[in-house]
Structure 1
Amino acid sequence: MNTAVSSQPAAQDALNAKGSALRRYGPWALVAVIVLLPLLPLPEFWIIQLNYIGLYALPVLGLVLLTGVAGLTSFGQAAFVGIGAYTTAWLTVNLGVSPWLTLLIGLGITGVSALVIGAITLRMSGHYLPLATIAWALSLYYLMGNVDALGKYDGILGIEGLTIFGYEIGQRRLFYGLVWLFVLAASFALVRLLDSRSGRAVRALARGSQMAEAMGIDTLRHKVGIFVLAAMLASISGWLFAHFQRTVNPSPFGLKMGIEYLFMAVMGGAAHVWGAIAGAGVVKVLEDQLQVLLPMLIGTSGSYEVIVFGILLVLVLKYLPDGLWSFVDRKFARAPRKVDWHDAAALPKRAMPAAGEVLLDVQAVRKTFGGLVAVNDISFQTRAGQIVGLIGPNGAGKSTTFNLVTGVLRASGGAVNFRGQRIDGLPSRRIARLGMSRTFQHVKLVPEMTVLENAALGAHLRGRKGPLAAMLRTDRTQERELLREAERQLQRVGLGELMHEQAGNLAMGQQRLLEIARALAADPALLLLDEPAAGLRHKEKQALAEVLRGLRAEGMGILLVEHDMSLVMDVCDHIVVMEFGTHLMEGTPAEVQRSEKVRAAYLGTEH
């Protein structure tokens, strides 16, 4: 009996190892299938179908990055496909420009268009963003259909095919090779991008901008960047489409096709790179087959496949909300990241301020929301090598004060100085660059990322390599340095053994410790902690207190908002007490404990 029980973990480990191997080599198996397909005796019809799947997969890959990963819904991918298609069509037919040169020209026009459109629309949020993308997608569609030079709704005919060294590659097997070369290159580039410093920043966008900006990430710049990249993938698809069809007209580039691209992304798995290929393949094959089978079954013609697609989408959203590719992720165990950073160089550290130097100087800061005064002329200081507690009853304005200091909110009056520089009015990312890092009252993590990746997000400002370096894999030295620092901070707060776990699987107390590790990875001079002990057990609080004392000994300044008075009185050197947004008193822990005003604020007075 004992032998059978003891063998179960070993069997499970073997199963996990097998699943991890499948996960690791699964994409390469997919590549092998794609490469070998045209070598098989397939009918030409299916080769053409596979070409269409590849043409659809390129804009869907852009939507995976834009919508699935970053959470930015766009209905305009089809319009960017149209820009690439019409650019090459007009230039080759009217001016005789080489198709290979028109690819670059189309990418340039698409990039500029996406840059302008993205800079305007991506400042919107909620339902306004998809509505804006619908508006400009319709505008581009009607522009294509009403310009005489573009042939209006008849389009442009007589586009030449693609040639390599004078040999025309046609529309079938050789064209298949070109299409899927672009698809696979784009897929691996996106996989590499998401596994990088820039990729972590992009993945943080889906959780809102507040946390990302606090880590020093320029969220608008990253949004516009991935918007342009998604548009350029669509433009490549349009260039290929024009030379595949040998004719273009506005019909394939309208809003209907933009919705269909989103449908493919959702069907395959909007957050999975390889799901783009799966979604494009499933939708294209079903679309063609249903158009043939449904009239035979029903006995009458009509667009009944739309009804089937609607039912299918509902079923997928209910039973596989993350798409078909998520089934692969759930079926096979996730292989832990290979630990190859222990011999990496340590990141340069910030010079700590001199002991006793004033780090934070809050001078009569005021914040009003309409007629409500949330913070009323609060003043206090935090010095290097000092832990200052900011306490008060619920609703006293502590978190609002934190947000004023860190740039989340703009002060209505007063001034905030950090290391002698006035910072009120600066955005959070610029304040973070100066050496201030924080946690949040309500935990803000990226649940789909691992504990290690979340911690590495805090070190974003300590890296310099961008998206291109990530896609070309020239950022690996820096990446190992960032991960080494992330692991060091996780070990510091006691989460080292959980670094490969998904952050969303952690208990609340562990998530708060992870936020502290992420903040420390930024190498701050001043650390702001908003209720870090909430949800922690007694021993975890003791460990947290030791970490805070160690940071103080290193010369770091700490501003602590906390309701756990035993922790506050244990670690703080100085305490500021707030009540109803006002400064009640400040002093040492002993002075605060003796204060009748503080007791009245917390316990009330007897009348």
Structure 2
Amino acid sequence: MKSRYLPVIALLLLVLAPLVLPTFQITLLNYIGLYTLVVLGLVLLTGVGGMTSFGQAAFVGLGAYTSAYLTTTAQLPEWLQWAAGSPWLALLIGLVLTAVVALLLGAMTLRLSGHYLPLGTIAWGISLYYVFGTLTSLGGHTGVSGLPSVELFGIVLDKGEKMFYLIWAILVVAIVITRNLLNSREGRAIRALKGGQLMAEAMGVNTFRSKLVIFLISALFASLSGWLYAHTQRFVNPTPFGLSMGIDYLFMALIGGVATVWGALLGAGILTMLKQWLQDLLPILFGSDGQYETIVFGLLIVLMMQKAPGGLFPMLSSLVPARFRQRKEISINSNAESLPRRELPKSGQLILEACEVTRRFGGLVANNNMSLQVHAGEIVALIGPNGAGKSTMFNQLSAVDTPSDGEVKFLGQSLKGKTSREVASMGMSRTFQHVKLLPTMSVLENVAIGAHLRGNKGVLSSALHMEREEEQRLLKEAAYQLERVGLGEYLHEEAGSLALGQQRILEIARALCSDPCLLLLDEPAAGLRYLEKQALGDLLRKLRSEGMAILLVEHDMDFVMGLVDRIVVMEFGEKIAEGLPVEIQTNPRVLEAYLGGAE
């Protein structure tokens, strides 16, 4: 069966389900749909973005209680009376309120790292839970009853069978929006958050903004689920919005596959059905006293995490015979308009200047009064033995780190106070000593991250699939740069499957994709074979002839001596020599410190 028919069959089954299934089964499907909507947000937040949140149930409660208050309170404040009794207006207000709360909480907690972030989400999740149970206007722990049914196109959705269609229609739209977002320029930035933040910032991605975006989207999905829950049950109390339910949502994501959209549906379905089966079966086996299902469920979760840590959906997908699996290849429109190119500075113009840069780490001086210059149309090498301070200097030049003393100027502007993202927008791009790429993302998409600053379509355009023209231009540029560096045949391969030398070349293609006037290369020839080094040298010479300035750190002296125009030599954080390759080769201090000494 061709995979393109599967969505049609799935939609047909959803339409027929309320007509053929008993009420109890429809109720379970409604819960699965509601839970999936929340877990979908966790896929973005935790699985893709790498940020664990225990507080999603609180956002569900925010949507539910907002609608309960607005549709059941007899005397609303005057400024809210326009929304009295209307579930749809309550939904709008609930989403706005959720957005405001999410932005405030996100601004406070998303800058936390390590275990502090999940602890922060627990804190505000518990706080919102107690707000719901404390305020008398929200019914306290007793809750609020008598919520009106939702009415759509004159049809009153007063039964579970009718709400089923609304719940699943909204869920299908949410899945489409999520998939559209992830397969876009904004989505690549979001996918770079987990394990690639330093690289993403160097490519011009505002990683905090990307974090805030997925935090907001996940909160809105949860709030929408809460609104649907409130008008399905027509009653709300604080119990479903506590920390235990927040943990359940995380379990659903982990069971299904926290990094996959379809895993959200699978996890919500399995957990919901499993809980129901255990509640029915275990009392028969062990008696009615005690919560045996919780104990058994916990043991099953631990077992599953050991056997399938990535979740069930990836595991099940791997069991599908290869002939039925379709290799996902991103289409590239060769007729798409090319991206505009930066006008490179005139040959010989001063591009980068380091003026007596010193960097201290406590009592350790990693760089001491380091000065160097790089001009347009010139390749400069920064060399020195291991521990000489080259990488630290490299970070000062690219604004990843800030000098303790001295100054770095790029295109005549001081980089003091600027972030690596701002410097990238000025025309500087870099690679890394230890390769930084997203191994499960395709080679093409990894390189397209480099073109992030050359697009401007935002989250809404991406979610609604309205950025296709710009996306094709970005992908065409990425494909061009990959062809340029000799990786054109690997466009659709996973980046992690490439050899180390090819991954370094991929990083150069990604850096070129940002259209820089200055290229900083950190050990670009490491891991390359002889012919690959020759091809890299030819590429760098071509870039130099076009007017690009290049600064590279490299240990391969044969590669350096036959390529660069000038060499700066470091030892113990200080510059000990500078000059032409032939001068460096005969410099006694260099021979003693580097070329003739042990590395």
TM-score by length of 1: 0.94
Per the TM alignment, residue 295 of structure 1 is displaced from its structure 2 partner at its CA by: 1.3
Matches within 5 A, 1:145-160: 145-160=133-148
Instruction: Say yes or no: does 1:491 pair with 2:479.
Output: no
Deviations 1:482-503 (A, max 9, x none): 1111011111111111110111
How far apart in 2 are the matches of 1:504 and 1:428?
Answer: 25
1:53-68 matched pairs, under 5 angstroms: 53-68=32-47
The one-letter amino acid of 2:460's match is: L
Provide the aligned C-alpha RMSD in A: 1.5
Q: Provide the C-alpha distance between the structure 2 equivalents of 1:349 and 1:334, rounded to a whole number of angstroms.
A: 36
Selected match of 1:447 from 431, 439, 442: 439
Q: How does 1:103-122 map to 2 (within 5 A)?
A: 103-122=91-110
Q: Are the aligned partners of 1:161 and 1:169 in contact in 2 as well (CA < 8 Å)?
A: yes
User: Is 2:513 aligned against 1:521?
Assistant: yes
User: 1:185 — aligned with what?
Assistant: 173
Alignment of 1:415-494 (within 5 A): 415-494=407-486
Alignment of 1:273-284 (within 5 A): 273-284=261-272
In the alignment, is residue 35 of structure 1 matched against residue 15 of structure 2? Answer: yes
Alignment of 1:197-596 (within 5 A): 197-330=185-318, 331=320, 333-596=325-588
The Cα offsets for residues 562-591 of structure 1, whole Å up to 9 and x where unpaired, read as 001111111110110010110111001001
Equivalent AA in structure 1 for residue 272 of structure 2: K
SS in 2 for 1:270: coil
In structure 2, C-alpha distance between the alignment counterparts of 1:77 and 1:25, rounded to whole Å: 34
Q: What code does the residue aligned with 1:107 have? A: L
Contact 2:262 2:313 in 1 (8 A): yes
Alignment partners' CA distance in 2, 1:347 and 1:63? 35
SS at match of 2:223: helix
Contact 2:196 2:437 in 1 (8 A): no
In 1, are the aligned partners of 2:58 and 2:128 still within 8 Å (CA)?
Answer: yes
User: Structure 1: how far apart are the matches of 2:297 and 2:205?
Assistant: 39
Q: How does 1:141-180 map to 2 (within 5 A)?
A: 141-180=129-168
Q: Deviations over 1:58-90 (max 9, x none)?
A: 110000000000101101110000000000000
Give how far 1:27 is off. Answer: 4.6
What does residue 58 of structure 2 align with?
79
Any idea what SS the aligned residue of 1:459 has? helix
Partner amino acid, structure 2, of 1:259: I
The one-letter code of the counterpart of 1:125 is: S
More displaced stretch, 318-327 vs 81-90: 318-327
**3-state SS in 2 of match to 1:306:** helix
For the 8 Å contact 2:30–2:167, the answer to whether it is kept is: yes
Change (3 A) 1:372 1:28: farther
- Residue of structure 1 in register with 2:182 after alignment: 194
Whether contact under 8 Å (1:60, 1:280) holds in the other structure is yes
The whole-number CA distance in structure 1 between the counterparts of 2:207 and 2:100 is 19
Q: Which residue of 2 aligns with 1:89?
A: 68
Question: Match for 1:594: what amino acid?
Answer: T
What's the CA shift for 1:304?
Answer: 1.7
Counterpart check, 1:52 vs 2:40: no
TM normalised by structure 2 equals 0.95
Alpha-carbon deviation of 1:334?
4.2
Query: Take 1:97 and 1:404, find their aligned partners in 2: how far apart are those partners?
Result: 60
Supply the distance in 2 between the matched residues of 1:186 and 1:237 (Cα, whole angstroms): 11
Match of 1:458, SS state, is helix
Say if 1:216 and 1:432, in contact at 8 Å, map to a contact too: yes
Q: How many residues align?
A: 585
1:145-196 per-residue CA deviation (whole Å, 9 max, x = no partner) reads 1111111111112111112244321232210000001100000100010000
Q: Distance in 2 between matches of 1:573 and 1:29?
A: 64
2:591 to 571, 576, 599: 599
Q: Give secondary structure in 2 for the equivalent of 1:307.
A: helix
What displacement does 1:300 show?
Answer: 4.2
Give the distance between the partners of 1:76 and 1:514, measured in 2 at CA. Answer: 39
Q: 1:220 to 1:605 in 2, by over 3 A?
A: closer
Q: Residue deviations 1:108-133, cap 9 Å, x none? A: 00000000000110001111100100
1:124 equivalent in alignment to 2:104: no
Task: Read off the aligned partner of 2:43 and give its amino acid letter.
Answer: V
Cα distance in 2 between the residues matched to 1:26 and 1:449: 25
CA deviation map 1:500-526 (0-9, x unaligned):
011111111111111111001000000
Deviation at 1:306, TM superposition (A): 1.8
Amino acid at match of 2:47: G
Residues 391-400 or 299-308, more deviating = 299-308
Distance 1:28 1:368, change over 3 A: farther
CA displacement at 1:208 relative to structure 2: 4.1
1:30 deviation in Å? 3.4
Letter in 1 for 2:429: S
TM superposition shift of 1:368: 0.5
Following the alignment from structure 2 to structure 1, what is the Cα–Cα distance between the partners of residues 115 and 326? 34
- How big is the shift at 1:422? 0.8
**Contact in 1 for aligned 2:332/2:475 (Cα 8 Å):** no
Q: Distance in 2 between matches of 1:400 and 1:27?
A: 52
Q: Is the 8 A contact 1:90 1:150 kept in 2?
A: yes
Shift of 1:47: 0.6
Assess if the C-alpha contact under 8 Å between 1:31 and 1:184 holds in 2: no
Give the equivalent residue in structure 1 for 2:81.
none
Q: Identify unmatched segments of 5+ residues in structure 1.
A: 1-17
Identity %: 56
* Secondary structure, aligned partner of 2:141: helix
Deviation at 1:604, TM superposition (A): 6.4
Aligned-partner Cα distance in 1 for 2:303–2:8: 29
Provide the C-alpha distance between the structure 2 equivalents of 1:567 and 1:34, rounded to a whole number of angstroms.
63
